[in-house]
Amino acid sequence: MSRELIPPGLVYLAGNIASKQNIIGASKEQGARWAKDLNLPKRAETIFFAGCGYQFSGQLETLMSLLRQMDQSVIGAELPLRFANFQKRLGVDLAGIYRKLLARDTEGEAGPLRAAVTVLQKLGIKFGYLAEEEPCCGAPLYQAGLHREFAANARQAYRKMKALGVKRLIGIVPYCTHALKKLFPLYVDGFDIEVRHFLELVIENLPTRKLRFPREAKVTYHDPCQLVRYLGLVEEPRRVLGSIENIELVEPDWTKREWATCCGGGGGFETVFPLLSQILAVNRAKELMETGAEIIVTHCPGCVLQLENGLKELKAKNIEVMDLAQVIAMSLEE
């Protein structure tokens, strides 16, 4: 058995976590930029854990489109990814340079994060944000099988958060939340930080008055695998959507709740099988479109990217993907 058998796409993500503490290999400052005008305290007992997915959704989209193009060529995606890994070892991040050329301005893209912060604040919850000091949860290391690295990263992240006085975490990215809540206690002795998901707090603090979405809309909900099957958040998103005026929830007959079909972007799968991942995204988008919904609501940065790509491939009109955090934020405005 050997590390050579780990697909290079996963090695690439793992390498970025090791060197830069995020999956994309960007600087921590770049990652934290979305929150710079929000004035969130950097020290607090309760901390909002932003994670990589939403922060870097623009870059991830670019990376995925690049990987799909490579995967379509005769060379395939493996060789260039191996090359990128090799270059990084030499201290040259060619893929990073290319990425920066293609990357759009990231500020507008962390919408769900800004929305989640607004929602929590409106619900009267006090919290801070570690910004560039936020450690990486390392979930892709665990998924890739690099458990020694995952354990080392988890211990380091725990020590750092403890040193910063963190007692409670509010997670939002499903992968991060699962890693922090369920995996950290298995790998970090005496792990004593309470981890809860954004939705759990929303449910507890939901105002008694009905929320109101700005327009009438038929929406369907796509359960992210990690939220529904790993964290068991089945009722919460539905209760939230059910408490919003103007929203009619229409769901697939079968592929909903714990039976929801994966969007095809699971745990780095999309970097190993970029084109297959896209086929699965298209399939899931089709299932959701059959409900007749005009908005696909989901609650995971990976699912958002996948489903948007699926709709694009289908050239679907009059239907869009929105993150649940954004839907709630919009419904709290009125």
Partner 1 sequence: MSEFKEYKKEIMDAARDEQLRLALSRAIKSFRGNINDALRKFPHTIGLADEVRGIKEKAIGDMERLAQQASEAIEANMGKAYIARTNEEALSIIAKLVGKGKLIVKGKSLTGEEIGLREHLEGHGNEVYETDLGEFIIQQLGSRPMHILSPSIHVPREDVARLFTKVMGREFPPDTEIATLVAAARDFLRDKFFRADIGLSGANTVAAETGTLFLIENEGNIRLATGAPPVHIALVGMEKLVETFSDACKVSEVTWRYANYTVPSYVSLVSGPSKTGDIEKTTTYGAHGPRELHVIFLDGGRTELAKNPVLRQALYCLRCGGCLYECPVFAVTAGHFGDKYFTGIGAVWAAMMDKDMEKAAALAYTCLTCGRCQERCPVKIDVPRMVVELRRMIAEGK
Q: Interface residues with partner 1 (CB under 8 A)?
A: 1-7, 10, 76, 78, 142-148, 225, 229-230, 254, 258-262, 264, 266-267, 269, 272-273, 275-276, 279-280, 283-284
Least distance to partner 1 from the beta carbon of 284, Å?
8
Least distance to partner 1 from the beta carbon of 124, Å?
35
To the nearest 10 degrees (0 to 180), the angle between helices 111-122 and 198-205 is 30
Instruction: List phi, psi (to 5°) of 121.
Output: -65, -45
User: Quick one: 166 or 285, whose CB is closer to partner 1?
Assistant: 285
The amino acid at residue 302 is: G
Q: How many beta carbons lie within 10 A of that of residue 209, not counting itself?
A: 8
Least distance to partner 1 from the beta carbon of 86, Å?
14
Coil/strand/helix, residue 250 = coil
List the alpha helices (DSSP H) in the chain: 8-20, 28-32, 57-72, 78-89, 94-102, 111-122, 139-144, 147-163, 174-178, 184-187, 198-205, 225, 235-242, 269-272, 274-289, 301-313, 324-332
Q: Are 26 and 53 in contact (CB under 8 A)?
A: no
User: Quick one: 205 or 259, whose CB is closer to partner 1?
Assistant: 259
User: Quick one: 275 or 316, whose CB is closer to partner 1?
Assistant: 275
Least distance to partner 1 from the beta carbon of 275, Å?
6
Least distance to partner 1 from the beta carbon of 175, Å?
11
Least distance to partner 1 from the beta carbon of 264, Å?
7
User: Quick one: 35 or 262, whose CB is closer to partner 1?
Assistant: 262
User: Quick one: 31 or 224, whose CB is closer to partner 1?
Assistant: 224
User: Quick one: 153 or 243, whose CB is closer to partner 1?
Assistant: 153
**Cα(295)–Cα(237) distance, integer angstroms:** 15
Distance of CA 333 to the CA centre of its chain: 24
